[in-house]
Amino acid sequence: MLPMFDLESQKQRGMMYRRIRDFFDGRGYLEIFTPTLSPTLIPEPTIQDFETRFVNEFVGDRDFYLIPSPEIFMKEVLACGSPSVYQISQCFRNSEQLGCIHNPEFTMLEYYTLGFDEKDSIALTRQLIDALLMDDCPSFMKEDFLVMSVNEAMIRWAGTDLEEHQDRRRLARRAEELGQSPAPDEAWDDIFNRIFITYVEPELPRDRIVVLTDYPYQIDCLAQRRPGTPWRSRWEMYIAGIEVANCYSEETDVEVTKAYYEKEYARLVSQRAGTGLPIPDVSDRFPTIEVPPSSGVAIGLDRLLMCLTGRKDIRDVLLFPFDRLMRE
């Protein structure tokens, strides 16, 4: 028997895509179309990848990977002198949970704005969501963002001032006071994440769009470090308590990028050695790309469509959710 399809959600998805394109085209952005299969990836130890193999008797065989994000290609385009760019693409993450907010294949909107920092991108993203509002969307989607720093959120909901807990041992003691049991060799960022996930995420308002800014510098990523502070120029957006978007002021220092790349690749190899999990090839070219001053935002469009239409389950906006395909 054929499944029942919610075709209304597909009409809403099509409307959302048209409005996204109108929004960025009207501001002079270039829509680009990059590959879904890549021979190399940015090393990300926390993301497991789908691997496949290209077979050809004339040019030989090579492993390829379904992209978890189009970032690696979009930054190459930016570095070649393009205007601000955007893209709607299919992305893939293996070993994802299956449920109301996770699907291993998902749709990503990613946009890079030349000359912007992450604070500029908050205002731009507010304008974008305003352009996507639908007649029956929850009323809180129309309200101003609740913007606070990660440290303010940690103080409010976990009683922990990160400025006073920059030392790993002190943060570990605070985690123990909160009932956590960090391992003796657990890194600062892992201890932070266990506190954040346990005490902050559950308390985020379910009737607001919350933007958490100024992430701790100890969480390695390609967002610029804010000079003279322990923070990075990064934010994450939560809608109804669900993480929907993140943003960086993109790192422009090639030496910093190279060091990050080497460290993350070493960590990835160490974690996956002997597990049988894919260890993707990494691009020798990518760490040398001189990314112009810009701010990049990535939005999960399936989750955003959920929130715009007041649905509670990502499977309600997907015609063929992964768990259904698994059962066939």
At 324, the amino acid letter reads R
78, 292 in Cβ contact below 8 A?
yes
DSSP character string of 2-32: PPP--HHHHHHHHHHHHHHHHHHHTTTPEE-
Write down the pLDDT at residue 3: 66
Helix, strand, or coil (residue 184): coil
For residue 66 the two structure tokens come to 């379904």
Model's pTM, two decimal places?
0.95
CB atoms within 10 A of CB 307: 22
176, 182 in Cβ contact below 8 A?
yes
Write down the pLDDT at residue 262: 95
Sign of CA pseudo-dihedral 87, 246, 121, 137: positive
For residue 111 the two structure tokens come to 């946009």
53, 65 in Cβ contact below 8 A?
no
Distance of CA 214 to the CA centre of its chain: 15
Write down the pLDDT at residue 170: 98
- Report residue 88: phi and psi, to 5°: -110, 120
pLDDT digits (tens, 9 = 90+) for 243-300: 999 999 999 999 999 999 999 999 999 999 999 999 999 988 888 999 999 999 999 9
- Residue 231, C-beta contacts closer than 8 angstroms, at least 6 positions apart: 149, 150, 151, 214, 215, 216, 217, 225
111, 297 in Cβ contact below 8 A?
yes
Q: What are the helix and strand counts (H, E) for the chain?
A: 9, 11
**Residue-by-residue pLDDT tens, the chain, 328 positions:** 556 788 999 999 999 999 999 999 999 999 999 999 999 999 999 999 999 999 999 999 999 999 999 999 999 999 999 999 999 999 999 998 899 999 999 999 999 999 999 999 999 999 999 999 998 899 999 999 999 999 999 999 999 999 999 999 999 999 999 999 999 999 999 999 999 999 999 999 999 999 999 999 999 999 999 999 999 999 999 999 999 999 999 999 999 999 999 999 999 999 999 999 999 999 888 889 999 999 999 999 999 999 999 999 999 999 999 998 888 8
DSSP character string of 263-297: HHHHHHHHHHTTT--------SSGGG--PPSEEEE
CB atoms within 10 A of CB 66: 20
Write down the pLDDT at residue 5: 85
